[in-house]
A = this chain, B = another copy of it.
Amino acid sequence: MSMVSLPLFLGRCTLSAFSERLMRIQYVSQELRQRLFNVLDGLEIVDPHTHINPHQPAANTLADILGYHYYTELAHSAGVPREYIEEPGLEPKEKVSRIVAGLGPLENTVQYSWLIEMLQTFFGFEGDTLTADNWEAVYDSSAKTMSQPDWSSEVLRRSKLRGVFLTNDFDDELAGFDPEVYVPCLRTDDLVFHLGRKEVRERLESSSGVAIKDVASLRSAIAARFEHFFNRGARACAISLPPDFEPMPVEAASAETALQGVLAAGTQADAPRLRECSQAVFWMLAELCAEYGLPFDLMIGVNRAVYPGGVFQGQDLYDSRVSLIQYRRLFNAFPQVTFPLSVLASVTNQELTSYSWIFPNVLTNGHWWYSNTPTFIEYDLSARLEAVPRTKQIGYYSDMYKLEFALPKFAMYKRILAKVLAERFVIDRGWSEERAVAFGTQVLRDNTETVFYSREGE
C-alpha cells in the first residue's frame, strides 16, 4: 500500500486512511449539494404565487419570454430607450430582435441565467448567451415547440408543477379553467388603494351586483366577491403594500366619513380620508379572510411608479425603512387568520423571521422581487431555516407571468436551499443528509399544502 507524505498536523498515514480524511472534504464539496439538489428537484410541487393568465398560461413566442419586465427593465437600465422596445404595434419577432440587441450588458445577472436555463431546458438551446447571431434560430424553433397543442401541460409536467396560484382581479369570472391546476387567488390592491377610482367602484358594483353607497354596502359588495372566489376554489387573498401603510381598525363613524369623502371626491379626496378608507377596507378584508378561512398573503414594502419613465412593470422601487411593528394590531386582532408574509427588502427579513417565530399566525413566504437574487435568498433563507418552526416556512414562489419561468426560478432556489442545507445543517450542525432532505421537502413542498389547502371541509 502506498504511503502518502502528509503535513505534520495530519501525521503520516496510509493511502487508505488518507482517502478517509479526504472523504470528509469530498463530503463538504459540491457533491453533497448536488445530491441534496437532486432529491429536491424530483419533487412535484405547487407554486403558491404567480401572475399566470390561465387562458394563456404558456408563451406563444419568445416575445412573451423576453417581454418579461426583468429583461426590458434591465436592458432599459443599461441604455436601451423605452420607446425602442415598447413601440406600439411591434411584431413579436421584431420586438425580440430589439430586446436581444440590448441584452449584452445583462449577461452577468441571475435574471439572464433564468432565460438561458429555460431556453436550454425547453427549447434545446445550446449556447450560453443569446445574441444577434443566434436568436432567430431560437425564436423559430421555440415558436414551433410552443405551438404544440399541449404545450402548457407539457411545461407543467416537465416543471413538476401540479398547480400554480393565480393573481386574480376581484371582478374575475374565474371561469374556463381548472381551479385545481390554476388556483384562484383574490388580489385586493385595487380595493384597498384605488377605491377612489370610479372605474374600480364600477367594476366592484358590476361584479357584485351591489350599489356602493356606504360602508355596509361596500362590505356586502366585497363579501360577494369573497363568496364568488371561495366557491370557485380560491385558496388565498393577497395584496401588496407600500412601506408607509399601517393597518388599523377604523371606527364606524370615521370609516363612513372617509368612504363618503372618497365616493364624493374620488382620488382627489383628502389624504387622511383616503388613508382611513384604505385602512377600513383592509380591515374588512382581514375579517372576510377570517370568515372564509382564507390565508391573507401580505407583500410588504413596494412604492409604485418611483421611476415613471421606466418600462412597463419596471417603474416600482421601495423605501427599505419599513417595520412589521406597523402590523402588530392586525396580527393581534386576527389570530384565526394565517398571514404568509413577503418582504421586499432583505433588511426586513430579520423582522420577518422574528415575527414568524413569535406570532402563531405569521409565516415566512418566499423571496420577493428585489430580494429574489441568490445573495439575498441565501442569507434570508439561512436566517429563517434556523429560527422559524419548520411548519411555518413557505419556501418559494415564482411570481412568473409565463409558465416557462417556474423551472429556472425554482431551480435557482433549490440550488440555494441545497447549499444552505449542506453548509449550515449537514456540515455546521452535523445533520444527516436524510434529515436535511426532509426539512427541505417540507419547506419546498409540504407547507404550501398545509397552509393553503386546509379550508374548512377539505
Binding site for B on A (CB under 8 A): 2, 4-7, 9-10, 15-16, 18-31, 35, 73-74, 76-79, 105-111, 113, 128, 303, 306-310, 314-315, 317-321, 323-325, 328, 331-332, 335, 345-348, 350-351, 353-360, 370-371, 373-376, 379, 382-383, 385-392, 415, 419, 424, 427-429, 435, 439
Contact = CB atoms under 8 A, between A and B. Distances in A.
A401 to B, nearest CB: 18
Main secondary structure of the interface of A (DSSP, over half): helix
Copies in the complex: 3
A317 B358 contact: yes
Given A7-B23, A16-B5, A389 B74 contact: yes
A7 B28 contact: no
Contact of A374 (B74, B314, B392, B424): B424
A105 B319 contact: no
B78 A391 contact: yes
24 contacts: A5-B16, A5-B20, A7-B26, A9-B31, A22-B22, A24-B31, A25-B25, A25-B26, A77-B357, A105-B389, A105-B391, A109-B386, A109-B388, A110-B386, A306-B358, A307-B358, A310-B358, A317-B358, A318-B351, A321-B323, A346-B350, A373-B383, A374-B382, A415-B428
A4 B24 contact: no
Contacts of A357: 73-74, 77, 370
A367 B355 CA distance: 18
A155 to B, nearest CB: 23
Contact of A358 (B77, B358, B386): B77
A109 B387 contact: yes
Nearest to A16: B5
Contacts of A20: 5, 7
A21 to B, nearest CB: 7
Most central of A107, A345, A351, A358 by chain B CB within 10 Å: A358
Given A78-B392, A108-B389, 7 more contacts: A109-B389, A317-B328, A317-B351, A318-B325, A374-B424, A375-B383, A376-B383
B386 A375 contact: yes
Given A26-B7, A307-B359, A18 B21 contact: no
Contacts of A335: 309
A26 B5 contact: no
B323 A319 contact: yes
A107 B106 CA distance: 41
A77 B373 contact: no
Contact of A307 (B24, B303, B328, B379): B328
A375 B347 CA distance: 14
A109 B439 CA distance: 11
Most central of A78, A375, A428 by chain B CB within 10 Å: A375
Contacts of A303: 325
A354 to B, nearest CB: 4
Given A2-B15, A7-B23, A317-B355, A360 B77 contact: yes
Given A19-B18, A26-B25, A328-B307, A428 B424 contact: no
